[in-house]
A and B are shown apart, each in its own frame.
Chain A
């Protein structure tokens, strides 16, 4: 099965803790993306990566960090510096050859208390 997996589906953390969200794809896409979605809101881009070992900040990168050591994987760390980390986090992948149409994983719902 080709697709994007995110784990875990639900994640609960205490304030002040860093947490890493997993994203893996087997679509052989070059580009990967992380979005945040708050209730009733649109998608906001956190980070994106066009190629292994390279990534760029999106619109709301503060308090987040990423790595891209393998083509298939693009983990997101939500640090304690993120003021309002509770949200629905979505990972996506896309490819230049298909005009970057993006496919999304199932998402991780993070709750920080």
Chain B
């Protein structure tokens, strides 16, 4: 079982719709969770961090964390073509003492005008 799993996609949504990106993780003791956006040919950019169960909203982005079910999701409301990118989920596992994040393989999102 991979430590952090994401659907590779591509996930295609129409402009204005809600895009839902999901991530599951294996280490039950994980404490910190991050979403990164990576445009083609560019480096990853941190867009959301979440540490406690529930929802965290930042503009059009909402991160949702459910530690009991070991999943974290990212919702993008009113999706725009400029949101088309690969979204990486990253987890800081409990056993990790050196700040190594475990990254998923990423989900490619395509927002169609």
Contacts and interface: CB of A to CB of B under 8 A. Distances in A.
A31 interface: yes
Given A41-B105, A42-B104, A101 B98 contact: no
A84 B67 CA distance: 39
Interface residues on A, range: 20 to 34
A19 interface: no
A103 B99 contact: no
Interface string B18-52: 00000000000001101010000011111001010
A99 to B, nearest CB: 4
B44 A104 contact: yes
A99 B49 contact: yes
B111 interface: no
B43 A90 contact: yes
A45 interface: yes
A48 B99 contact: yes
A96 B42 contact: no
A34 B38 CA distance: 17
B98 A56 contact: yes
Contacts of B92: 99-100
Given A43-B88, A50-B98, A99-B32, A105 B43 contact: yes
A48 B103 contact: no
A48 B100 contact: yes
Contacts of B44: 43, 90, 104
> Which 5 A-B pairs have CB atoms at the shortest separation, nearest pair first?
A100-B99, A99-B32, A42-B105, A104-B43, A31-B99
Given A43-B103, A90-B43, A100-B101, 12 more contacts: A94-B101, A98-B49, A99-B31, A100-B32, A100-B100, A102-B46, A103-B46, A104-B36, A105-B43, A106-B43, A107-B42, A107-B43
